[in-house]
């Protein structure tokens, strides 16, 4: 194993990725697998989860999957039992699962607020608590929470998404402080506009597509593979002195001023 490979290798590490059956979650899981990790894919989309696992198995990658709704206590218990039986330790946890439920009413519906909160903020916290003993056993582990540009910027008609992603950003910092003594590092990745199922409506709208592209310095939308480098970096020992930080993969959206 040469220097570069050893710096970023995930060989022998156990990883869990939530929302892993498609889009950014699938791409990040693929990156972890190809870097040597054993990855447990978690999702509520049964067919997509099965298809994704099959695809990775056919590539000869070390992958398993679990149908799991991370907003339900019963499913979190199922997750804990599965990890206890098959892994014992977890070195990498990627809290990727999330939803966006925009609504143009000034009185944003309570139901949409609760749904967004339960998936985007409460569930990552509950997943971390559920797996904490396995993360601690690893002695050196990495939790990566997937936030968003909306953790920094206000976008219209979606206060629940902005609030929960901002909350997740701060949860990361709080837990990084609390869990650092166990060798657990926790960082955020904030994707910009990336072409996935969640952003399909904007992608297909000519004006919206152009508007989002023009907000970036690189003058393009992102693709899920743009997250590969940062996920490997944060999951590997190359980031062993990095915790409580925000990494935005946004084509320069956040820093672009007049132009």
- Which residues belong to the active site? 161
Tokens at 234, concatenated: 């944060």
Tokens at 46, concatenated: 């049964």
Q: CA 43 to CA 49: how far, in whole Å?
A: 6
Residue 234 near residue 91, CB atoms below 8 Å: no
Closest CA to 156 of 120, 208, 224: 208
Count of helix runs (H) and strand runs (E) in the chain: 10, 7
- Phi and psi torsions of 84, nearest 5°: -60, -35
């Amino acid at each position: 194993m040469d220097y570069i490979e050893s710096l970023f290798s995930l060989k022998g590490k156990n990883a869990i990725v939530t929302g892993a059956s498609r889009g950014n979650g699938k791409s990040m899981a693929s990156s972890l697998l190809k870097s040597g990790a054993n990855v447990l894919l978690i999702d509520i989309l049964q067919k997509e989860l099965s298809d994704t696992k099959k695809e990775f198995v056919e590539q000869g990658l070390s992958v398993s999957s679990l149908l799991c709704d991370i907003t339900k206590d019963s499913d979190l218990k199922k997750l804990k039992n599965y990890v206890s039986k098959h892994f014992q330790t977890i070195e990498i946890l990627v809290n990727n699962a999330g939803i966006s439920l925009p609504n143009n009413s000034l009185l944003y519906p309570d139901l949409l607020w609760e749904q967004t909160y339960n998936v985007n903020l409460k569930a990552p916290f509950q997943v971390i608590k559920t797996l904490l003993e396995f993360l601690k056993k690893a002695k050196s582990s990495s939790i990566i929470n997937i936030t968003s540009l909306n953790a920094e910027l206000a976008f219209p008609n979606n206060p629940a998404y902005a609030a929960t992603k901002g909350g997740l950003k701060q949860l990361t910092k709080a837990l990084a402080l609390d869990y650092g003594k166990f060798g657990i590092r926790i960082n955020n990745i904030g994707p910009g506009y990336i072409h996935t199922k969640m952003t399909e409506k904007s992608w297909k709208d000519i004006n919206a597509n152009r508007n989002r592209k023009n907000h970036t310095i690189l003058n393009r939308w992102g693709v899920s593979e743009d997250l590969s480098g940062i996920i490997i970096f944060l999951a590997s020992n190359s980031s062993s002195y990095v915790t409580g930080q925000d990494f935005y993969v946004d084509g320069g959206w956040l820093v672009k001023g007049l132009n």
